[in-house]
């Protein structure tokens, strides 16, 4: 027990110390985690060989990340990506494999080892690249999207690679590893520690090729159909229970179940969850799922990066320092060259070209998986594999540096030159509407009707269901949760409308949003006077009392019923409205949220004064108010009193 706690303590401590520091220095969180790993592993020796095991768990973070990426991507946009996915991805993988293989053969390796090395090095790090692109907000740029397409293709390509590797086995290594040959053929799941659980459970061992294909297709179909038809009733049912942790549990269950199913049939779990994410991208639970999975993904990915850092074998590295460094640099240059040619071929603009080239130039976490799989299958001799492992890890370690190169050196140069492409608006100004009751509905319809994007959040699953039937995009979730508000797009939104019933939560939302975004415009509905004051203190721009305007209209009709001319009735109620708003503004300054109004002496005093003022103002014989109604329209030379 103390051992486990110590481990957790060390990892968390390293992350908490290193990551904020790295971010402050502008190095990005990934480099922070990697450095933290190096410090607790090779440098201080606080963690040792168990990092390998932890790494397999941590790789689940990649699975979760792809689920989240899928959630951001509607099926239609995935379809639109097909050209880039197959073209860019296919070319990147094939050309890199061929070039690496040629280089390796030139260095004197046999062709089978060279091909295996080509496979290992053709892959890039989904974890590092996506994490960094997201952090820098570059995901939606052309360079980011292209990079993502390539990564997705690589994820898919891992599956045939795993099938191919056992066929490359070297006879002289075979006797050491005869037990591993059982894995060949259908050969195990990939991604999260494939070779570990692949042997434990599999639905496809003993099946022939076409049967495996059939099972695979069935599994993918199950994920798509299940995601489309089953998850929504399920989540609705869970949402009705109004227990947040159960919703989180359900979200985790969904991801784990899909990953498990994919592993069983020998497909990539990352690919499976990605598909599930795409299927759920249109669902009302999208933002809730996002904010539930996000922290797990973040922690696991962080853990993964730490283990990469901690796993670097420094003794071996220093023994072969120049050789390993040389190999790493050559690898990065070669991969970058391939990527650069592709970016030219696909005619990207300069900023996107460099981003695409530098982002994907490393080897990735799938390289680890493939390497241990190749040694098990007697394809690559262990001594070579250990060196290659170092190259993979070092290239990952250098990636943040390449991003820094892009940020600090390349982008500023492009800015200075005339080649700078026009700023691409990736996100339009949107409105977040919290609460889609009778109040929020009207706002939503007016905004949507005039072509503004809205993201609507509500806690009532029934309500959401109904609105979805009317074609209103609504998401399930408690808008007072900061994480949900963030995944609904608080950071980019132009406007926040708070129209929920719960008085205290409305104030929470407003103060949170104001803290996060000093520049956002907030329109809030107030239920009563006190609520107005609280929202005012919390930082709402426009505060609308929910019954005030309707009451004003009703009083106008009442005046008209007494025969007052509509135009005059309008002016009379305007006098009242002006007075009242002025009063509420003065009173709001004296309001103290910690003190009941009746005990707030200055407030009560002003309240009484204002009441007297208003009464006086409205009585028809005070010159002040009524002159404002009469004034302009009196016949020249006459006096108001003549007409009363």
Partner 1 sequence: MVRPDQRILVLFAHPGQRYSRANRDLSKAASGVDNVTLIDLYALYPRFKINIEVEQQRLLDHDVIVFQFPLLWYSVPALLKEWQDLVLEYGFAYGEGGDKLAGKCFTCVVTTGGPEEFYRVGGRNNFPLRDLLAPIEQTARLCGLRFVPPYALFAAHSAAGDDRLPRHVDGYRRLLEALRDDRLDMEAADQMRLLSAETLPMRRTAQTEVKR
**Binding interface with partner 1 (CB under 8 A):** 565-570, 630, 632-638, 643
Closest CB to partner 1 among 349 and 630?
A: 630
Q: Parallel, antiparallel, or unpaired for β 521-526 and 453-458?
A: unpaired
Closest CB to partner 1 among 601 and 619?
A: 619
**Orientation of helix 503-516 relative to helix 529-538, angle to 10°:** 20
Closest CB to partner 1 among 135 and 570?
A: 570
Closest CB to partner 1 among 210 and 643?
A: 643
Q: How far is the CB of 638 from partner 1 (least distance, A)?
A: 7
109: closest CA among 387, 362, 350? 387
Calpha distance 260→184 (Å, rounded):
20
Closest CB to partner 1 among 349 and 626?
A: 626
Burial of 206 (0-12, 13-18, 19+ CB in 10 A): exposed
Q: How far is the CB of 440 from partner 1 (least distance, A)?
A: 25
Calpha distance 420→100 (Å, rounded):
34
Closest CB to partner 1 among 413 and 553?
A: 553
Q: How far is the CB of 567 from partner 1 (least distance, A)?
A: 4
Contact residues for 232 (Cβ-Cβ < 8 A; gap 6+)? 283, 284, 285
Query: What one-character-per-residue DSSP string does 533-550 give?
Result: HHHHHHT-SEEEETTHHH
Distance, C-alpha 405 to centroid of its chain: 25
457 pairs with which residues across the strands? Answer: 434, 475
Closest CB to partner 1 among 171 and 635?
A: 635
Residue 455 parent element (H or E): strand 453-458
Closest CB to partner 1 among 515 and 567?
A: 567
Calpha distance 293→108 (Å, rounded):
47
Phi-psi sector, 558: left (phi>0), alpha (psi -120 to 50), beta: alpha
Calpha distance 625→631 (Å, rounded):
10
Closest CB to partner 1 among 563 and 596?
A: 563
Q: How far is the CB of 552 from partner 1 (least distance, A)?
A: 12
Q: How far is the CB of 634 from partner 1 (least distance, A)?
A: 5
Q: How far is the CB of 551 from partner 1 (least distance, A)?
A: 17
Question: Tokens at residue 72, please?
Answer: 């951001």
Calpha distance 590→598 (Å, rounded):
12
Closest CB to partner 1 among 176 and 631?
A: 631
Closest CB to partner 1 among 297 and 626?
A: 626
Q: How far is the CB of 564 from partner 1 (least distance, A)?
A: 9
Distance, C-alpha 121 to centroid of its chain: 28
Closest CB to partner 1 among 45 and 636?
A: 636
Closest CB to partner 1 among 108 and 637?
A: 637
Q: How far is the CB of 439 from partner 1 (least distance, A)?
A: 22
Calpha distance 635→17 (Å, rounded):
79
169: closest CA among 158, 181, 183? 181
Calpha distance 174→185 (Å, rounded):
16
Calpha distance 577→171 (Å, rounded):
92
Q: How far is the CB of 553 from partner 1 (least distance, A)?
A: 11
Closest CB to partner 1 among 417 and 635?
A: 635
Q: How far is the CB of 344 from partner 1 (least distance, A)?
A: 53
SS3 for 34-80, per residue? HHHHHHHHHHCCCCCCCHHHHHHHHCHHHHHHHHHHHHCCCHHHHHH
With tokens 């497909």, the residue in question is 267
Q: How far is the CB of 633 from partner 1 (least distance, A)?
A: 2
- 518, 455 contact by CB (below 8 A): no
Q: How far is the CB of 558 from partner 1 (least distance, A)?
A: 15
Q: How far is the CB of 629 from partner 1 (least distance, A)?
A: 9
Q: How far is the CB of 556 from partner 1 (least distance, A)?
A: 9
Q: How far is the CB of 621 from partner 1 (least distance, A)?
A: 15
Residue 498 parent element (H or E): strand 495-498
Contact residues for 349 (Cβ-Cβ < 8 A; gap 6+)? 142, 421
Start-to-end Cα distance in the chain: 90
Closest CB to partner 1 among 238 and 629?
A: 629
Calpha distance 426→423 (Å, rounded):
9
- 66, 155 contact by CB (below 8 A): yes
Burial of 465 (0-12, 13-18, 19+ CB in 10 A): middle
Residue 5 parent element (H or E): helix 2-24
């Amino acid at each position: 027990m103390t051992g486990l706690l110590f481990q957790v303590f060390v990892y968390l401590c390293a992350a908490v110390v290193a990551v904020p520091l790295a971010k402050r220095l502008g190095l990005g969180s990934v480099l922070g985690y990697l450095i933290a790993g190096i410090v607790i592993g090779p440098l201080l020796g606080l963690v040792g060989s168990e990092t390998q095991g932890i790494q397999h768990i941590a790789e689940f973070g990649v699975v979760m990340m792809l689920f989240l990426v899928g959630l951001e991507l509607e099926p239609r946009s995935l379809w639109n990506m097909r050209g880039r996915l197959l073209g860019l991805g296919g070319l990147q993988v094939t050309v890199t494999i061929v070039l690496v293989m040629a280089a390796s053969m030139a260095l004197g390796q046999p062709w089978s080892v060279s091909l295996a090395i080509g496979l290992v090095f053709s892959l890039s790090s989904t974890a590092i690249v996506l994490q960094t692109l997201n952090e820098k907000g570059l995901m939606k740029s052309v360079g980011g999207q292209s990079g993502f397409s390539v990564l997705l293709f690589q994820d898919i390509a891992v599956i045939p690679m795993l099938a191919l590797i056992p066929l490359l086995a070297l006879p002289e290594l075979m006797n050491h590893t005869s037990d591993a040959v059982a894995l060949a053929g259908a050969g195990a799941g990939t991604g999260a520690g494939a070779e570990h659980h692949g042997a434990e459970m599999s639905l496809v061992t003993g099946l022939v090729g076409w049967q495996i294909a059939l099972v695979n297709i069935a599994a993918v179909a199950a994920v798509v159909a299940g995601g489309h038809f089953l998850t929504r009733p399920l989540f609705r049912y869970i949402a009705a229970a109004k227990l947040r942790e159960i919703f989180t549990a359900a979200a985790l269950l969904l991801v784990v179940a899909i990953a498990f199913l994919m592993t069983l049939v020998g497909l990539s779990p990352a690919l499976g969850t990605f598909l599930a994410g795409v299927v759920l991208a249109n669902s009302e639970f999208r933002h809730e799922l996002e904010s539930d999975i996000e922290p797990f993904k973040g922690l696991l990915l962080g853990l993964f990066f730490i283990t990469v850092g901690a796993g670097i074998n420094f003794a071996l590295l220093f023994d072969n320092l120049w050789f390993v460094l040389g190999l790493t640099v050559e690898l990065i240059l070669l991969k970058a060259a391939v990527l650069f040619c592709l970016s030219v071929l696909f005619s990207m603009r300069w900023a996107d070209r460099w981003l695409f080239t530098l982002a994907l130039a490393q080897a990735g976490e799938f390289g680890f998986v493939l390497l241990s799989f190749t040694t098990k299958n007697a394809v690559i001799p262990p001594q070579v594999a250990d060196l290659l492992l170092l190259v993979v890890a070092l290239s990952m370690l250098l990636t943040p540096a390449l991003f820094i190169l892009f940020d600090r050196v390349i982008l500023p140069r492009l800015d200075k030159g005339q080649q700078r492409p026009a700023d691409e608006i990736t996100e339009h100004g949107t409105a977040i509407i919290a609460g889609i009751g009778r109040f929020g509905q009207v706002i939503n319809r007016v905004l949507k009707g005039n072509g503004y994007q809205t993201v609507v959040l509500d806690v009532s699953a029934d309500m959401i269901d109904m609105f979805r039937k009317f074609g209103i995009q609504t998401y399930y979730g408690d808008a007072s949760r900061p994480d949900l508000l963030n995944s609904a797009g608080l950071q980019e939104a132009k406007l926040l409308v708070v129209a929920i019933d719960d008085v205290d939560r409305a104030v929470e939302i407003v103060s949170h949003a104001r803290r996060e975004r000093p520049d956002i415009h907030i329109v809030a509905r107030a239920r009563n006077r006190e609520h107005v004051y609280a929202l005012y203190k919390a930082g709402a721009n426009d505060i609308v009392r929910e019954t005030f305007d309707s009451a004003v209209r009703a009083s106008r009709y009442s005046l008209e019923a007494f025969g007052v001319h509509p135009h005059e009735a309008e002016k009379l109620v305007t006098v009242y409205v002006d007075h009242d708003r002025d009063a509420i503004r003065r009173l709001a300054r004296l309001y103290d949220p910690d003190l009941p109004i009746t005990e707030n002496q200055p407030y009560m005093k002003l309240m009484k004064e204002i009441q007297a003022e208003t009464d006086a103002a409205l009585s028809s014989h005070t010159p002040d108010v009524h002159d404002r109604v009469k004034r302009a329209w009196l016949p020249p030379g006459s006096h108001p009193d003549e007409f009363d």
